[in-house]
Structures are given as structure tokens and as C-alpha cells.
Structure 1
């Protein structure tokens, strides 16, 4: 009788144990810290359907923008650390904002862990086509000729555009005056309209203005030349070393999520990123498909965070918020 009861108990517990170990056993929610239609949202929706098919469960995308990424992060952290509610956020949210807004409910750098990079995109430095500035050497010379006279547009205080320009100033020993605009498109329009001399922004933002003929690219912040624009030199090739900066978006989870579940999501993301339809959507938006291990992405994120922490600390008006 004892053996029979033991056997029955094992039979009863087996399905529960299997269910507990099977991941995912139901739908996964991806919380995006940017609004619908944003670049991170585009990247997320590009892979979500493929990931759902690969994982065998629905993948639901929810947008929770606002409060410098805190709303989305709080949504993830209020759920159990089981891998069923995960975050997608851009590099600015994950590597810049924690240093500009240190007094927040969520400590992004400690409470979240990297799962995988969805995409990356280089920045380009653009100038007005009729500005007479035809190279980085021209731009640096003009900036040094009249310190503070060269005007750089940016998309707002604490933006990647502002901080990248601060890095440029440091690397070239120039004094460039920065003017914030209401968002990236407005900043690019400011250069095209002659209200600013230069802007460092992503391919997706600058492309329409380059296509119009009103602005031109001088250099890219990528480590290598962009395959879509092989005639545009890197900053290093143009004479400005130490300007390897990229924008990206990735998947993050609570730090307590079991590693095997992080690995499962990472594997599904990597597989999705190999699919032609997914790559077509990303590349059409000027985004280079990401991929790689969660550990490599964690290292990249932390390294960028350290870089931006130093830049934020020496940029007037950004700290102690």
C-alpha cells in the first residue's frame, strides 16, 4: 500500500514539476519604454511575431513610455522574476538616463539584466549642404577659428546627440555651442533650415534630410564604414579618434530571472534576427540587426554606461536632477 501511494504521489507531482520547468508555459509580455511608432517599438514588433512562433507561445508587445524609462521598468519589476514580463529599451534609457536622473524608484543598472541586443545604429554628423564645410577637418577648423560660434543642434538635454557633441568637443579641443530642439526630427530640420550648423544623429533621423539634398553627412561614429554609405568615413578615418558611439535597443529582464530562461529568450531573439523578413524590416529602418550572447550585451551596456557617466558628470546642467 505504501508503494502504491508513493507511486500515485509521484504520478500526481510529475505533471506539476514538468509544468514548472517548461518555459515558456504561457504568453510573454514585452514592455517597451518608448511610444508606438518609435525606433525601439519598430525593432520589437519586427521580432515579436517570429519569437512567438519559435517559443510556441504568444508574445505581447505593450508600450509604457514616460518618466525616462521608469514607467516601463516599474511595470517589469512589479511582476515576478519568472521571465514572462520583460523590457525593451534603448541605449539612452539604459546607459544615459540612470546618470542624469539618479534619484529614481528603479535602479536600472542594478535591478535589470541584459538578455540580448535587437539592433544597433550608427550616428552620423550632418551639416547644411551649402555651409562650405566639406570635411571634419573643415568643421574643426571653423570651430577653432571662432570659439562658440559654431552651433550644434541636439534633440534635448541629456540626449545622445547632446552628449555625443560633448565628446566631439573634448576630442577636438573645440568650443561648440549647443542648442536643444524639441526632438530629433526638429533638430535635423534646424540644420537643414540654417538654424544650426551641425547635428550628430542616427541614420533613420538624418536620412530624409540627406535625401532632400539640404544636408550632407561628414562622418559616421561607427567602428567601420556603414555598408549603406561606403563613401562616408568613420570619425577615426576623418581624424577624430575616440568617437565610436552607437545607438541600440535590447531586451532586459529582472536580475533574478533564472539564467536558463534568459538563455531561452536570447536564443529565440537570435533565431528571429536571422529571418529575412525580420532583417528586411530592421534594415529598412536603418537598423543593423543585433544578436549575440546576453553576457556580451551586458558587457557592452555596462561599458557604455561608464562612458556616458563620465560625459554626464562634466556636462553643465545635467546632474543632480
Structure 2
């Protein structure tokens, strides 16, 4: 019996070994790369940023700060204080609370308010990818997107009612007096014009409809109305197709409030005649509307020549504003 049991055990073991040799080997489970932790040392980065721009004796002066971030330092500090003060109010929205410096899950201090706002400004100023400045601010790509999104929401909540709006009756009176003093045009609301904004990251499928032959690359038409102090209180852009100023004006909502009779009181008087609405200075391509004042294409006498010269000079307001907007591209080509 013992011999039979031993023989059965031997036969069973040999059968298992043969089946193991004949069966294909089990495929190893794919080993995913574990999440990698990068110690970016955000505390040292925050201290370096403070010493570079915000300490009592900063490394870089205020003019370098303005050139690199396209705003003066006092304006940056005003925005920072506005966001931070609003974040400590009762029932403050989450995008304001985000900019407070808080402790993380490990009890370490998170990014400072300066780091978070500088992160958003760097993306807006240079128009680059979110992770290109990781070496300086020491912030991951996802956190940078959150900073930019929350910063834009804070700016809209803080300054939207003051700046991102159409002129009120008080604003209209101020625009009238300013333009009459600076340019001699009574009843002038501003200057209107369009510009082509290069769209570097235009999707491939949209390039044909956003490319005009005289430019050779995708652009977006921007229509804007600007005053003497470069206040852009009207902007319209995003139309597809090969457009010019007239195409954009026909789709623009600039005169919608005028059609609905919901504009702010804007009457003015010239030579004893009362005009119900103000006007905009425009170039020769615009249509002959009562709300658009153009210069003479072929002035034949001295008064017309003088008016055309003054009109072209006053229209420099919007062109100067466009130059400031496009100035950030020149900043990119300048060594930092």
C-alpha cells in the first residue's frame, strides 16, 4: 500500500509538471509608474520671489517689474490687497479664499499670495504654457491653471462693475469734457477702430476660416472703442471669416442699446443745435452714419484740411491703445 501511494504521488507530480510546461506562461501584469513626488521647495521659491521684487531692497527695481509684468508695482499691490481683503470677508467665494496662504495636509505652509498672483500674471503677460516657469515659482502645472482661473474670477468680481461696463451718464459727461479739452471735439465719446490679433495657437481645423490673404497667418479681428485715457469700454472679437472693419461693425453690439433706446443720457449742444447722442471718430472705411465722424478723403479748402488733420490726430487714442496691447510681444523679444 505504501508503494502504491508513493507511485500515485509521483504520477500526480509528473502530470502537473507536464501541464505546467505545456501551458503558456502567464503574462505579467503591466506595472504602472507610481506617482512621482517632486519636492519643489516652494518656501525657498517664495523667499526668492520676495527678495527679487517686494523686499525693502529688492534685487530688481520697479521699472523691471513693470517691463516683466506689464503693470506697475503699486497696481499689483493694490490688486493683491483687494483680493486678500475680500477673501477674509464673510461668505467669501472660493476663488478669493484660494489666494490665502494656508497649511496643506502635512502641516506645511502652502504658496504665498504673491506666488499665486505672480503665477497668473506670468501666464497672462507672456501667453505661454502653464509649466514653463516651474523652475522659478516652483508650482505644478495643474495648480497654475487653478491660479489663472481663480485670478480672472477675482478680477471680474472686484473691478467688473467699475471697468468692464458701458459708460454711465457721469462717465459720458467726463468723456465729453476730457475730449473737448484735449482734442477740441465736443460730444466725442471715443475713437473706434479694428486690429488683427495674431492667433498663434489656432486649431488646425480653423486656420482657413481665420486666415486672411494679406496676413498669411490666423488672426482674430478686435473692434474696440477707446477714450483719451485708454479706457476700452467696448470690445468685440471672435468673428470667423475674412473680415474687415465693416463686417465686424455690422455684427457688433455697439449700437444695440441705441436701437433699444436704453443708452445713458448723452445729448450735447454745438452752435445752438442740440444733438441727442454722442459720436465716435472713425477712419475712411466706416459707413457714413451720424454716430461716426470721419475725415475728408479729399479736402478742398482750408477748413476741411484743418478738420481732417485734427480728426486724424484725435484718432490716435485708439491706435495708441492698440499699441499698448501689442507691446507685450515686443517685451517677449527683449532680454529679461
Global fold match (TM > 0.5): no
Whose RCO is larger (CA < 8 A, sep 6+)? 1
Scaled to the shorter chain, the TM-score interval is: under 0.3
Q: TM-score, normalised by structure 1?
A: 0.24
Larger C-alpha radius of gyration, 1 or 2?
Answer: 2
- The structure with more strand, counted as a fraction of residues: 1
